[in-house]
């Protein structure tokens, strides 16, 4: 499957931005200038102004997206790297400054109070917040931060090893950690770790630079620390850093004991005295690794069959993505790590990027990212403004969209990827993975809270803080003899480098996704109807309102973790037989 942007059809004809506009600042400056100077005489004029601004934003976000996509697909392609760096270095700072002028023009309009609140109310609040946090001097700092993030990608993408006579990416090496031969697992783990550890000093240095840049930006904007600044920038109107700290405590109280209970059972079934890092992915019953597909084509065709059983409309969306080849799924040398869904705003299409290597986890990842894609399609079909590249969208609910699809899809693996016993095993591993996800989110989020509340820390202090935090939430795996690997586990989490404080969203989303899954098991049509209705609201409703629209209870504190720990324990017992 070959992604070719130039072959994609246009689905959003422009009414304002010139069709033949060149992506050069002189041309863009003229469009920004017209919007800035336009005489807006009525609420209807302001709505037209906002629609034109939205069209410009769609064009800009697509130009950025295609450069970012290309740079991650081939980090070793100098032309792609330079194209994205040019955007970050030359174009993005100018766009941010010009967009700030438009923000001020909008907020100065006397007609904004007359706009219909159901469509424009939250957007108006977001724009007020954007004005509050924007500082011209931070544009340069954000450019530097983006450039450092790209360096992180290049370092990680270059990590390969030669194992059993073949060069492999570290994503491909992960499959060997599921092998029933403990000696082979240890060999694969040690080799991968030795490669990771070669770059710890460089990655430490990159992160230290990022923390300093981000702390300076927060102080420029009048905040005492980067966490408070990030919450404002992310429009987190419905919860606070204190709520996140309470989540950490609730995970420690209710989820960590379940996680360690799971690990004790794993240790006993494996018949080992202590669990080592290479013991955490293998089947504890000694069964061979789940083998859902051999080639990426099998992953795609299987996912299509699964989605077809979930919902016809969503199936149509997935079929369109396959037909237009807006998927890059296989792992290869030179490809950036991780997975994501990006939106091509003018094309009205999502794009999915991941690193599949023939694992059960890959199936879940594709369907997770497909959930993001369905969100994009549903909002686009409704014609909602202000969501280009998912801008202004509640990231917490965006992750409900994806995590829900990841979990409910498991109800349909039998006869597609697996037989009945294997499908049950896959869902068992997913349930265990959800327990571990809560603990890992708490680990990463608590670690970030420490990092940015101690911005002047040394690398040694950061190391100790990580070990303390990891010890608070970890399972029973032992790193005795591999202390360096334990001390630098955090460097694998790209969110720390690329999207700071974007991680609590996964835990909030998981509370919602588990609710949708429970509802889906009782009444599939009702659950999917509510799911699609909530997704189609886009960025027009608050986070609690979006949860309510999906029939979900809002909250991720002590009560939620107590309830979910009981539900997950019950699901694990049901699936492990």
Domains and CATH numbers, the chain: 5-148 (no CATH), 153-288+435-498 (1.10.1370.10)
Q: How confident is the model at residue 568 (pLDDT cuts 50, 70, 90)?
A: very high
Residues 226-258: pLDDT tens digits?
999 999 999 999 999 999 999 999 999 999 999
Stretch 427-455: mean pLDDT: 97
| Contact indicator for 494, 150 with CB cutoff of 8 Å | no
Q: Which two tokens stand for residue 269?
A: 């079934």
pLDDT at 299 over 90: yes
Residues 160-173: pLDDT tens digits?
999 999 999 998 99
Q: What is the pLDDT of residue 60?
A: 96
> Going by C-beta distance under 8 Å and a sequence separation of 6 or more, which residues neighbour residue 208?
459
β-bridge mates for residue 351, sequence order: 342
Q: What is the pLDDT of residue 561?
A: 98
Helix axes 360-382, 395-408, angle to 10 degrees: 130
pLDDT at 62 over 70: yes
DSSP state of 353: E
Give pairs for 447-450: CB < 8 Å, separation 24+: 447/490, 447/496, 448/227, 448/496, 448/500, 448/501, 448/503, 449/227, 449/241, 449/244, 449/245
DSSP state of 222: T
Stretch 346-350: mean pLDDT: 93
Helical segments of 454-493, H only: 459-473, 483-487
Distance of CA 392 to the CA centre of its chain: 15
Work out the percent of the chain whose per-residue pLDDT is above 90.
Answer: 93
> Going by C-beta distance under 8 Å and a sequence separation of 6 or more, which residues neighbour residue 133?
221, 229, 232, 233
Q: What is the pLDDT of residue 297?
A: 96
Stretch 53-69: mean pLDDT: 95
* Buried/exposed 465-492: b ≥16 CB within 10 Å, e otherwise: bbbebbebbbbbbebeebeebbbbbbbe
pLDDT at 337 over 90: no
Q: Does residue 338 come out as left (phi exceeding 0), alpha (psi in the -120 to 50 range) or beta?
A: left
- Closest residue by Cα to residue 178 from 393, 310, 362: 362
Q: How big is the CA angle at 272 (ends 270 and 278), to the nearest 5 degrees?
A: 75
pTM of the model: 0.92
CA distance 349 to 125: 28
CA distance 431 to 247: 20
> Going by C-beta distance under 8 Å and a sequence separation of 6 or more, which residues neighbour residue 59?
14, 17, 21, 345, 346
CA distance 54 to 16: 10
Q: What is the pLDDT of residue 389?
A: 67
Q: What is the pLDDT of residue 391?
A: 75
DSSP state of 136: T
Residues comprising the chain, all counted:
577
Residues 94-111: pLDDT tens digits?
999 999 999 999 999 999
* DSSP β-ladder status, 160-163 and 166-169: antiparallel
| Contact indicator for 244, 141 with CB cutoff of 8 Å | no
How many CA atoms within 13 Å lie on the side-chain side of 21? 21
pLDDT at 577 over 80: no
- Closest residue by Cα to residue 301 from 410, 424, 416: 416
Distance of CA 100 to the CA centre of its chain: 27
Element (H, E) at 38: none
Q: Which two tokens stand for residue 1?
A: 């499957």
Work out the percent of the chain whose per-residue pLDDT is above 70.
Answer: 99
* Buried/exposed 416-430: b ≥16 CB within 10 Å, e otherwise: bbbeeebbbbbbbbb
Stretch 527-536: mean pLDDT: 96
| Contact indicator for 103, 125 with CB cutoff of 8 Å | no
């Amino acid at each position: 499957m070959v992604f070719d942007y130039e072959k994609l059809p246009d689905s959003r004809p422009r009414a304002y931005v010139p069709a033949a506009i060149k992506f050069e600042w002189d041309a863009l400056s003229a469009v920004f200038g017209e919007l800035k100077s336009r005489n807006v005489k009525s609420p209807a004029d302001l709505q037209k102004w906002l629609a034109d601004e939205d069209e410009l934003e769609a064009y800009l976000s697509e130009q950025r997206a295609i450069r970012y996509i290309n740079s991650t697909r081939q980090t070793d392609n100098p032309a792609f790297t330079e194209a994205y760096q040019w955007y970050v270095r030359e174009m993005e700072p100018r766009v941010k400054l010009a967009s700030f002028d438009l923000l001020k023009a909008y907020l100065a309009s006397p007609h904004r109070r007359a706009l219909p609140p159901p469509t424009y109310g939250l957007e108006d609040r977001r724009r007020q917040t954007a004005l509050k946090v924007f500082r011209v001097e931070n544009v340069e700092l954000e450019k530097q931060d983006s450039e450092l993030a790209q360096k992180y990608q290049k370092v990680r993408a270059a990590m390969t090893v030669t194992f059993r006579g073949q060069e492999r990416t570290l994503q491909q090496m992960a499959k060997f950690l599921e092998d029933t031969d403990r000696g082979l697992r240890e060999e694969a783990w040690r080799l991968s770790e030795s490669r990771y550890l070669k770059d710890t000093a460089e990655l430490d240095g990159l992160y230290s630079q990022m923390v300093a840049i981000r702390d300076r930006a927060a102080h420029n904007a009048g905040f005492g620390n980067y966490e408070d600044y990030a919450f404002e920038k992310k429009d987190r109107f419905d919860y606070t850093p204190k709520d996140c700290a309470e989540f950490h405590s609730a995970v420690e109280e209710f989820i960590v004991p379940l996680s360690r209970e799971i690990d004790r059972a794993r240790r006993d079934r494996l018949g080992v005295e202590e669990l080592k890092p290479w013991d955490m992915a293998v089947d504890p019953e000694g069964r061979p690794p789940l083998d859902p597909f051999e080639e990426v084509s099998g992953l795609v065709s299987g996912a299509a069959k699964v989605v077809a059983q979930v919902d016809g409309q969503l199936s149509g969306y997935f079929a369109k993505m396959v037909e237009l080849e807006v998927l890059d799924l296989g792992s290869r040398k030179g490809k950036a790590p991780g997975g994501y869904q990006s939106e091509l705003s003018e094309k009205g299409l999502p794009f999915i990027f991941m690193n599949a290597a023939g694992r059960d986890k890959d199936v879940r990842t594709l369907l997770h990212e497909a959930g993001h894609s369905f969100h994009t399609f549903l909002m686009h079909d409704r014609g909602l403004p202000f969501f280009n590249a998912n801008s202004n969208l509640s990231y917490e609910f965006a992750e409900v969209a994806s995590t829900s699809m990841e979990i409910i899809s498991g109800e349909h693996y039998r006869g597609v990827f697996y037989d009945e016993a294997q499908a049950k095993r896959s869902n068992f591993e997913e349930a265990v993975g959800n327990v571990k996800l809560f603990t890992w989110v708490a680990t990463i989020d608590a670690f970030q809270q420490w990092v940015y509340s101690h911005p002047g820390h040394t690398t040694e202090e950061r190391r100790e803080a990580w070990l303390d935090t990891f010890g608070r939430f970890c399972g029973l795996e032992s790193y005795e003899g591999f202390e360096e690997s334990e001390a630098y586990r955090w460097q694998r989490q790209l969110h720390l480098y690329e999207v700071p404080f974007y991680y609590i969203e996964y835990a909030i989303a998981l509370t919602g996704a588990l609710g949708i899954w429970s509802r889906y098991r009782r009444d599939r049509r009702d659950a999917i109807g509510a799911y699609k209705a909530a997704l189609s609201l886009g960025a027009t409703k608050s986070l609690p309102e979006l949860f309510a629209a999906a029939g979900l209870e809002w909250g991720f504190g002590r009560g939620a973790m107590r309830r979910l720990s009981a539900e997950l324990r019950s699901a694990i017992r049901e699936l492990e037989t």
